[in-house]
Structures are given as C-alpha cells and as structure tokens.
Amino acid sequence: MLEQFHVPEDSAVRVSHTALLETAKAMFERVSVPHDDARIAADALVRADLRGVDSHGVSNMLRTYLSACKSGVINPQPTIKVLCETPATANLDSDRGLGVVAAPKAMDMAISKAKDVGVGMVTVCNGRHLGMASYHAMMALEHNMIGVCVTTAAPRVVPTFGAVPRMGTNPIAVAAPAKREPPFVFDAATSVISGNKITIAHRLGTKLLGGWVPDDDGVPIMEEVESPTHVMPAILPLGSTREMSSHKGYGLACVVDILSGILSGGGYGIFPGRPYNYHMVAAYRIDAFTDVDGFKGMMDEFLQTLKETPPAPGYDRVLVPGQPEWEMEQDRLANGIPLHEEVIQWFRRTCKEMEIPYVLE
C-alpha cells in the first residue's frame, strides 16, 4: 500500500550509492558547505535512499537543502554554540545550519557523554530539517548504545477535537542493536501518516485513505477520498479519532515538542519564527545497565519471536521495525538506488550548472 511512494521500476534508473554520495557531497560543497560537513549531509540523504525512505533522500530533500543554502534560510557555514552543558546533557544553538549536519554532531556529543556517564542527551535549537530521524538514532548502534532522535516540524497536525493544525508530524526514532538480527530501528511520525506522504499524494492527485486527514472543519474523514487540490490537507494524529485514541498520537506529538522545542529553549510547534526546527538526540550505553552480549542475544530472541508470530489471514509474515528498510538497503546496496527519470534529469542539469562531473550513469 505504501509502495505507491516508491519510484515505479519502469520509470527509474538505478544508480550506485557511492556515485550518488560523491555527487551530493560535491553539490553541497558548491553551495559553500565545508568539505567534512558536505560528506555528513550527503551520507544522511543517501542512507535514507538506501533504506527506501525516498521521501527523505536525495530526490526529495537535496534540492530543498541546496536552495535553502543559497537563499540563506540555511546557513552553510554555521558556528555551533554550546548554550548549556552538564556531564550527561548539552543544549546547542546550530546557527541555522543544515540539520543533517547539526544532528550528527549533537549525536556524537551524546555518544561521548554516554561513554562518560551512561547517558547523553543533547537538544538543538535554531535548527533546520534533519532528514531521516533514524539516521541519527542509528549512529549509537556501533557503540553498543541505544539511540534516540526526535524532531519538531512545522504545524500540519490537528489536536484531537481541534479544527486547526497545532503540531508538526514530530517523528520519534529509536534504534537498538541485536546480535545476529538486523538492528531494531523504529522511525515514525506521531501523525497517522507522514507529511511527505500527504504532500506526494497531493501532488500526484492520488487518493487519501480513511483516517488520514480531517475535513476543512477538523472532522476526521474515515473513508477514502480524493486529495483536495485547492489546499494542502491537515493531518490527523496517530489514532485518527478520539474513539481510536487519537489523543495518544496528539500527546506524543506534544512530548516531541517539549523534549526538543521547549527544552532547547527554542519554541514549540506553532511558535512564531519558522522555519526553525528543534531536535533532541540521546544515547543510552547498554553496559551502563546490563551485559551487552546478553542484551543483544535477548534482542535476537525478541525480534525472532515477533517475526514468527502467526500472521493474520491475507498476510504472509509479521515484520519488525526497521526490517523492510533493512531488506531494502541490502537490495539497493547491491543493485543501486532507483531514481525517477525526472530526478536523473535534474542531476544531469545541476551537475552541468555546478560544473560537477556527472557520474550517475
């Protein structure tokens, strides 16, 4: 059902992730992003493409980030300031820098703090869009830590009983390592559906499923509808209706606003001063609680048991969080990342304009 958001194979060109990484890095450098930062930013985008999260990869976000760097909405050469620091915490002002660079730097700091005292938790204010939230959470995995990332977005989601958007889609990402199993990676908007999926459906004019959006008055629409073309629809919180506990999705969105926006001193979802985004990343050192090997072994058992759950009629298997993305990553590492012909043309054109060698095909 969500495959509609992937590029159809017959209009796609498969490109290697290393070529895509080099190209994206060079493009970031052309808009004045320093070399090391450009590498981080390109890696975050390409990792999203590898994992099948196309909405947060090069085709959807690269041009947005590049034009924001050119226009000054994003500061390509920020000076990140530490506003507050304790052994386990920090609050950073990212100086309007690329979120895909500031968040990994904040996560590095959280990991370092977790090495010292068991937990590291770093908030970021004065920030910009950080791409795929799980990219930052997953940074903890190789350090035998659990990683967390939450971030606010511009208001598109109505509160339960509300007629007007008040929160962003405010995703939560949590990553935890296993031993033989691929890592557990949860990454989800606290709205019923991500903002990018609504945007794409709106652009393509495809149908919106029941429970995704409210009508103009805020009443949840529970049957399939054409996406309105006159206006971008608002989005319902996870749970869709009060009866199905939309107050839980709404409450979780508030938690994200509090832990990133308000705790960083930046602002909440509908605070004036957009396009600010606020982030919180955290790392929990596993051996600050329990034996790492025992933890990973138990993660294997847990994930295997979930996968072996007898499926309901009509489904052939039960998935675990991060599994579809991991399977996609294996395929795309081996066979390349499918990019839509329109995206390929944009790369050809932009490489030429920026005088970057075109190496994607």
**Interaction residues for a copy of itself, span 148-167 (CB under 8 A):** 158-164, 166
Instruction: Quote the tokens at residue 308.
Output: 């072996």
Helix (H) or strand (E) segment spanning residue 341: helix 341-354
Could you give the dihedral angle defined by the CA atoms of residues 176, 179, 181 and 187, in that order, rounded to the nearest 10 degrees? 10
The three-point CA angle 62-67-69 to 5° equals: 95
Judging by DSSP bridges, how do beta strands 119-127 and 89-93 pair with one another? parallel
Nearer to a copy of itself, 241 or 350 (CB): 241
Residue in the structure block whose two tokens are 């939309």: 246
Beta carbon nearer to a copy of itself, 315 or 355 = 315
Of 12 and 318, nearer to a copy of itself (C-beta) is: 318
Q: Which is nearer to a copy of itself, 217 or 355 (CB)?
A: 217
Examine residue 226 and tell whether it contacts a copy of itself (CB under 8 A).
no
Which region, judged by CB under 8 A, interacts with a copy of itself, from 5-13, 15-23, 297-305, 341-349?
297-305
| Residue number, 50 or 167, with CB nearest to a copy of itself | 167
Q: C-alpha dihedral over 151, 68, 213, 174, to 10 degrees? A: -20
Whether the CB-CB separation of 12 and 338 falls below 8 Å is answered with: yes
Closest distance of CB 23 from a copy of itself, Å:
33
Which of 13, 80, 188, 200 binds a copy of itself (CB under 8 A)? It is: 188
Binding to a copy of itself (CB under 8 A) within 254-293 occurs at 254-255, 257-259, 262-265, 267-268, 270, 284-291
In the complex, the smallest distance separating the C-beta of residue 114 from a copy of itself, rounded to whole angstroms, is 8
- Which residues in the 8-47 window bind a copy of itself by CB under 8 A? none
Q: Which of 5, 186, 326, 346 binds a copy of itself (CB under 8 A)?
A: 186
353 binds a copy of itself (CB under 8 A): no
> In the set 91, 151, 152, 227, which binds a copy of itself (CB under 8 A)?
91
Residues 304-323 that bind a copy of itself (CB under 8 A): 305-306, 309-315, 317-321
In single-letter form, the type of residue at position 306 comes to L
| Residue 228 binds a copy of itself, judged by CB under 8 A | no
248 sits near a copy of itself (criterion: CB under 8 A): yes
On the 0-12 / 13-18 / 19+ scale of CB atoms within 10 A, 19 is middle
- Please report how close the Cβ of residue 317 comes to a copy of itself at its closest, in angstroms: 7
Tell me how many residues contact a copy of itself (CB under 8 A).
96
184-188 and 145-151 beta bridge pairing: unpaired
Residue 207 tokens read as 């149908």
Backbone dihedral region for residue 96 (phi beyond 0: left; psi -120 to 50: alpha; all else: beta): left
Rounded to whole angstroms, the Cα distance separating 80 from 126 reads 10
Q: Taking the complex as a whole, how short is the minimal distance between the CB of residue 316 and a copy of itself, in angstroms? A: 9
Nearest to 94 by CA among 104, 86, 102: 102
